[in-house]
Amino acid sequence: MSSFARQLFAGSPPASIAERLRAGLGALVGILVTGIVARIAFGGYQELPYLIPPMGASAVLLFGVPASPLAQPWSIVGGNLIAGLVGVTAARYIGDPAIAGAVALALAIPLMFTFGCVHPPSGAVALTAVLSGPAIHAAGYGFILWPLGVNTILIVFAALAYNNLTGRRYPHAITTIATDQKTADALPLARVGFTPEDIDAALKDYGEFLDIDRSDIESVMRAAEVRAFRRRSADILCRDIMSRDVLAVSPGETLKNALYLLRSHHIKALPVTDEYARVVGILTQSDFLNRTLFGSDGPSIGLGRRLNNMLQMKTAPQAVVSDIMTAPARSATPETPVADLLPMMANGGLHHLPVVDEHGTLAGVVTQSDVIAALFEEKIMQAGTAVAPTLMQSA
């Protein structure tokens, strides 16, 4: 019974105090705006309410869980439209309110699934059309326009404004990681383990409607994989694998000399540091390829980049490192776990990361090759740990 009791009284996932306050204030704003605007615009129609109760349930979704598929604009607009039509029709042709309400819900729910606009508060809309008394019954199908339609549009616009102003994307967009590869290949971390097709197949086999977007499921699962790897490889830190004897250049170093350093030392990137050895950027082979022209005298700044600087009121290029370096440079610290580098390097397309101390001073550089070597070593150690008990048993 203890297990059953835990399932019976299991609550919703925890939310921070800030998120609780954000959701509560959103509901206040949404219902207040909807009610006041509707009353001012249509308050003359005293026989009909200017704010209907299902909007309260919609506010919980639109402001409390705006990422939910049940809270998206089409869900509330389409769901309310279907529920309103079905509810008014059931009330008109079925005399018993209890039977009419049950029939309205029995029809509205599968229709919402069919049209991809499941919105739980729309069930209350269907019952409102059936049970709310003679004024709404007399309005007939006009109830769908006022007050239902007006309330729906107003609260959706309130949710659009409030959620985006408070840092919540609404409508909820599919989460993607931008890269500059411009190919049809999946991101590196998405090429191992499960695939989006695996998630689709699993959801189909599961057979039940889940209140979460498939792309969000994938994002959570990818994050769980990284966290699991971080737990398994928690002992491997940047300081264990980084290169410490690192060449660096100043922002005022000439491009010609910087290119000579890259070629003569057979490296592909140079941290850029100021007079206090603090990292201010990074210069890579890609910067040379994408931002310079090569002539008999070495790399130079082309006319297009000079014009761009002029239009942006920047200093004229001097053919020095600061003209083409990537700044600010993403960096790690000596205590950064190697697992934390995977998303940045694999999906972010970074090949070199400066490692800086607490003062921003250059301490070393970590490359993709360093990370691969560390992962390979860890894999060998895990395999050895797994094989050892078997050898002992056989002995």
Structure tokens at 17: 């105090």
Residues 6+ apart with CB under 8 A from 332: 238, 340, 341, 353, 354, 355, 356, 366
- Tell me the C-alpha distance between 260 and 291, whole Å: 17
Give the pLDDT score at 229.
66
Structure tokens at 363: 């301490």
Sign of torsion over alpha carbons 367, 373, 379, 384:
negative
Average pLDDT over residues 287-312: 76
Most confident region among 86-90, 282-286, 290-294 by mean pLDDT: 86-90
Average pLDDT over residues 167-187: 64
Shortest CA distance to 240 belongs to which of 333, 350, 331, 352?
Answer: 333
Give the pLDDT score at 283.
94
Shortest CA distance to 131 belongs to which of 96, 83, 80, 82?
Answer: 96
Shortest CA distance to 65 belongs to which of 199, 211, 241, 205?
Answer: 211
Most confident region among 178-192, 218-232, 340-354 by mean pLDDT: 340-354
User: Over the stretch 191-250, which tens digit does the pLDDT of each residue have?
Assistant: 556 677 787 788 778 777 666 777 777 777 777 776 776 666 667 888 888 999 999 999
Read off the pLDDT band of 128 (50, 70, 90).
very high
- Domains in the chain, CATH or no CATH each: 14-165 (no CATH), 188-232 (no CATH), 238-378 (3.10.580.10)
Whether the CB-CB separation of 140 and 166 falls below 8 Å is answered with: no
Kindly tell me if the per-residue pLDDT of 177 is higher than 50: no
Q: What is the pTM of this model?
A: 0.59
- The packing angle between helices 97-114 and 121-131, to 10°, is 150
Sign of torsion over alpha carbons 368, 373, 378, 383:
positive
- Tell me the C-alpha distance between 346 and 340, whole Å: 11
Kindly tell me if the per-residue pLDDT of 312 is higher than 70: no
- 254-258 long-range contacts (CB < 8 A, ≥24 apart) are 254/319, 254/320, 254/321, 255/288, 255/292, 255/298, 255/299, 255/300, 255/319, 255/320, 255/321, 255/323, 255/324, 256/297, 256/298, 256/299, 256/319, 258/283, 258/321
Read off the pLDDT band of 179 (50, 70, 90).
very low
User: Over the stretch 93-126, which tens digit does the pLDDT of each residue have?
Assistant: 999 999 999 999 999 999 999 999 999 999 999 9
Q: Which of 16-20, 31-35, 350-354, 374-378 has the lowest mean pLDDT?
A: 374-378
367, β-bridge pairs? 352
Kindly tell me if the per-residue pLDDT of 74 is higher than 70: yes
Max alpha carbon distance in the chain (Å)? Answer: 92
Kindly tell me if the per-residue pLDDT of 344 is higher than 90: no
User: Over the stretch 37-60, which tens digit does the pLDDT of each residue have?
Assistant: 998 887 665 678 889 999 999 999
Q: Which amino acid is at 279?
A: V
Kindly tell me if the per-residue pLDDT of 80 is higher than 50: yes
User: Over the stretch 16-38, which tens digit does the pLDDT of each residue have?
Assistant: 899 999 999 999 999 999 999 99
- Tokens 């040379």 -> residue: 288
Read off the pLDDT band of 262 (50, 70, 90).
very high
Give the pLDDT score at 178.
46
Mind spelling out the 3-state secondary structure of the chain? CHHHHHHHCCCCCCCCHHHHHHHHHHHHHHHHHHHHHHHHHHCCCCCCCCCCCHHHHHHHHHHHCCCCHHHCHHHHHHHHHHHHHHHHHHHHHCCCHHHHHHHHHHHHHHHHHHCCCCCCHHHHHHHHHHHCCHHHHHHHHHHHHHHHHHHHHHHHHHHHHHHHHCCCCCCCCCCCCCCCCCCCCCCHHHHCCCCHHHHHHHHHHHCCCCCCCHHHHHHHHHHHHHHHHHHHCCCCEHHHHCECCCCCECCCCEHHHHHHHHHHCCCCEEEEECCCCEEEEEEEHHHHHHHCEEECCEEECCHHHHHHHHHCCCCCCCCEHHHCCECCCCCECCCCEHHHHHHHHHHCCCCEEEEECCCCEEEEEEEHHHHHHHHHHHHHHHHHHHHHHHHHHHC
Give the pLDDT score at 365.
94
Give the pLDDT score at 357.
94
